[in-house]
């Protein structure tokens, strides 16, 4: 048993009570319960935080994932994501995201960028 903070061996520590409560909750509730409380928590979080908050936690999560996984992990999840996307979308979807990507790229890069990638593409055929 975890160390008790108030030196009374007849009482559980806060940690032990929390663990036991969590176990009881998991026995008494189903997947839908957790989905509902997750959605409520997500909505509350989105009301209390801005874009910077999500960027920061996303970056931290990405860094932690990168520290714990190799390139094979990313290849596998990328392939799974690509397959799932292909199953759920049609040709028009890919045309639309391609158009949007092209517009965003053209807004963020100048003529020199396109000349450089053209040279690299031309050289790769040698």
Its pTM stands at 0.41
Q: What is the pLDDT of residue 8?
A: 52
For the chain, give the mean pLDDT: 91
Higher-confidence residue of 5 and 109: namely 109
Question: In the prediction, which pLDDT does 126 show?
Answer: 63
> Is the pLDDT confidence value at 82 over 60?
yes
11-69 pLDDT, tens digit each: 889 999 999 999 999 999 999 999 999 999 999 999 999 999 999 999 999 999 999 99
Residue 72: predicted pLDDT: 95
DSSP structure string for the chain? -PPPTTS-TTS--HHHHHHHHHHHHHHH--HHHHHHHHHHHHHHHHHH--HHHHHHHHHHHHHHHHHH--HHHHHHHHHHHHHHHHHH--HHHHHHHHHHHHHHHHHH--HHHHHHHHHHHHHTT-
């Amino acid at each position: 048993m975890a160390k008790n903070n108030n030196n009374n061996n007849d009482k559980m520590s806060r940690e032990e009570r929390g663990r036991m409560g969590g176990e009881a909750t998991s026995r008494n509730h189903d997947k839908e319960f957790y989905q509902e409380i997750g959605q409520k928590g997500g909505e509350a979080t989105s009301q209390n935080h801005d874009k910077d908050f999500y960027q920061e936690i996303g970056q931290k999560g990405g860094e932690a994932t990168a520290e714990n996984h190799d390139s094979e992990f990313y290849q596998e999840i990328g392939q799974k994501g690509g397959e799932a996307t292909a199953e759920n979308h049609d040709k028009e979807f890919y045309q639309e995201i391609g158009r949007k990507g092209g517009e965003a790229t053209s807004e963020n890069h100048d003529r020199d960028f396109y000349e450089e990638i053209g040279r690299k593409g031309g050289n790769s055929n040698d």
